[in-house]
Structure 1
Amino acid sequence: MKTFSLSALALLIAMGSAIAAPQTDRLERASRPSALADQAPLTDAQTLGTQLVMVGESGHILLRDADGVISQAQVPVDLLLTAVHFPDPSNGWAVGHDGVILHSNDAGKSWSKQLDGNDISTLMLTWAESEVARLEAASAAAPDDEALVAALDNALFALDDVKAGSASGPSRPLLDVWFRNADEGWVVGAYGIILHTRNGGKTWAYVSNLDNPERLHLNAVLGLADGRLLVAGEGGRVSLSTDNGQHWQPSRQLSQASLYKLLQLKDGQLLILGFGGTLLSSQDQGLNWKTLALPVRVGLYGGEQLADGSLVLAGQGGVLLFSRDGQKFKAWQGTSKASLLGATALSPDHLALIGSNGLQVLPLSTFKEQLQ
Structure 2
Amino acid sequence: MNTPLRCALGLLLGLAAPVFAAPPGDRLERPSREAADARQEPLTDVQRIGDRLVMVGANGHILLRHADGKVQQAQVPVDLLLTAVHFVDEHNGWAVGHDGVILHSGDGGQSWIKQLDGVAINALMLKWAEAEVARLEAASDADDEALDNALFALDDARAGAASGPSRPLLDVWFRNAREGWAVGAYGMIVHTADGGQSWEYLSSLDNPERLHLNAVLGLADGSLLVAGEGGRLYRSSDGGRTWQPAQQPTQASLYKLLQLADGRLLALGFGDTLLSSQDQGQNWQSVALPVRAGLYGGEQLADGSLLLAGQGGVLLASRDGRNFTPWQGKGRSALLGVAAIDAGQLALIGSAGLQVMPLAGIGEQRQ
Instruction: Using structure 2 for the length normalisation, give the TM-score.
Output: 0.95
1:51-66 aligned at under 5 Å gives the runs 51-66=52-67
Q: Cα offset for 1:362?
A: 1.2
Write the distance in 2 (CA, Å) between the matches of 1:185 and 1:10. Answer: 25
Q: Which amino acid aligns with 2:64?
A: L
1:342 aligns with 2:343: no
Write the distance in 2 (CA, Å) between the matches of 1:274 and 1:354. Answer: 17
Q: Secondary structure at the match of 2:289?
A: coil
Task: Please say if residues 202 and 241 of structure 2, whose CA atoms lie closer than 8 Å, have aligned partners that are also in contact.
Answer: no
1:71 aligns with 2:72: yes
Q: Which amino acid aligns with 1:44?
A: D
Q: Cα offset for 1:371?
A: 1.3
Q: Which amino acid aligns with 1:245?
A: G
1:197-236 aligned at under 5 Å gives the runs 197-236=192-231
Q: Which amino acid aligns with 2:304?
A: G
> What per-residue deviation string (whole Å, max 9, x for no partner) do you get for residues 301-325 of structure 1?
0010011100000000000000000
Write the distance in 2 (CA, Å) between the matches of 1:293 and 1:10. Answer: 27
Task: Please say if residues 179 and 186 of structure 1, whose CA atoms lie closer than 8 Å, have aligned partners that are also in contact.
Answer: yes
Q: Which amino acid aligns with 2:24?
A: Q
Q: What 5-or-longer segments of structure 2 have no aligned partner?
A: none
Q: Cα offset for 1:242?
A: 2.2
Q: Where does residue 89 of structure 1 map in the other structure?
A: 90
1:141-220 aligned at under 5 Å gives the runs 141-142=140-141, 148-220=143-215
1:9 aligns with 2:9: yes
The 1:5–1:343 alpha-carbon spacing in structure 2 relative to 1, beyond 3 Å, is farther
Task: Please say if residues 343 and 354 of structure 1, whose CA atoms lie closer than 8 Å, have aligned partners that are also in contact.
Answer: yes
> What per-residue deviation string (whole Å, max 9, x for no partner) do you get for residues 29-53 of structure 1?
0001112111000000100111000
Write the distance in 2 (CA, Å) between the matches of 1:251 and 1:269. Answer: 15
Task: Please say if residues 12 and 351 of structure 2, whose CA atoms lie closer than 8 Å, have aligned partners that are also in contact.
Answer: no
1:40 aligns with 2:41: yes
1:324-339 aligned at under 5 Å gives the runs 324-339=319-334
1:79-158 aligned at under 5 Å gives the runs 79-138=80-139, 141-142=140-141, 148-158=143-153
Q: Where does residue 347 of structure 2 map in the other structure?
A: 352
Q: Where does residue 20 of structure 1 map in the other structure?
A: 20
Q: After superposing the two structures, state which structure 1 stretch, 21-30 or 169-178, moved more.
A: 21-30
Task: Please say if residues 212 and 251 of structure 1, whose CA atoms lie closer than 8 Å, have aligned partners that are also in contact.
Answer: no
Q: Secondary structure at the match of 2:122?
A: helix
Write the distance in 2 (CA, Å) between the matches of 1:285 and 1:343. Answer: 24
Write the distance in 2 (CA, Å) between the matches of 1:289 and 1:334. Answer: 30
Q: Where does residue 255 of structure 2 map in the other structure?
A: 260
Write the distance in 2 (CA, Å) between the matches of 1:192 and 1:362. Answer: 37
Q: Secondary structure at the match of 1:268?
A: coil
Q: Cα offset for 1:8?
A: 5.4
Q: Cα offset for 1:166?
A: 1.8
Q: Secondary structure at the match of 1:181?
A: coil
Q: Secondary structure at the match of 2:56?
A: strand
Q: How many residues align?
A: 360
Task: Please say if residues 8 and 356 of structure 1, whose CA atoms lie closer than 8 Å, have aligned partners that are also in contact.
Answer: no
Q: After superposing the two structures, state which structure 1 stretch, 17-26 or 268-277, moved more.
A: 17-26
The 1:11–1:301 alpha-carbon spacing in structure 2 relative to 1, beyond 3 Å, is farther
Write the distance in 1 (CA, Å) between the matches of 2:305 and 2:87. Answer: 23
Q: Secondary structure at the match of 2:244?
A: coil
Task: Please say if residues 63 and 73 of structure 1, whose CA atoms lie closer than 8 Å, have aligned partners that are also in contact.
Answer: yes
Write the distance in 1 (CA, Å) between the matches of 2:326 and 2:125. Answer: 44
Q: Secondary structure at the match of 1:135?
A: helix
> What per-residue deviation string (whole Å, max 9, x for no partner) do you get for residues 253-276 of structure 1?
331110000000000010000000
Q: Which amino acid aligns with 1:52?
A: L
> Where has structure 1 moved over 4 Å in runs of 4 or more?
4-8, 10-13
Q: Which amino acid aligns with 1:56?
A: G
Q: After superposing the two structures, state which structure 1 stretch, 222-231 or 245-254, moved more.
A: 245-254
Write the distance in 2 (CA, Å) between the matches of 1:230 and 1:125. Answer: 26
> What per-residue deviation string (whole Å, max 9, x for no partner) do you get for residues 200-248 of structure 1?
0000010011111110000000001321100000000000112332321
Write the distance in 2 (CA, Å) between the matches of 1:354 and 1:42. Answer: 6
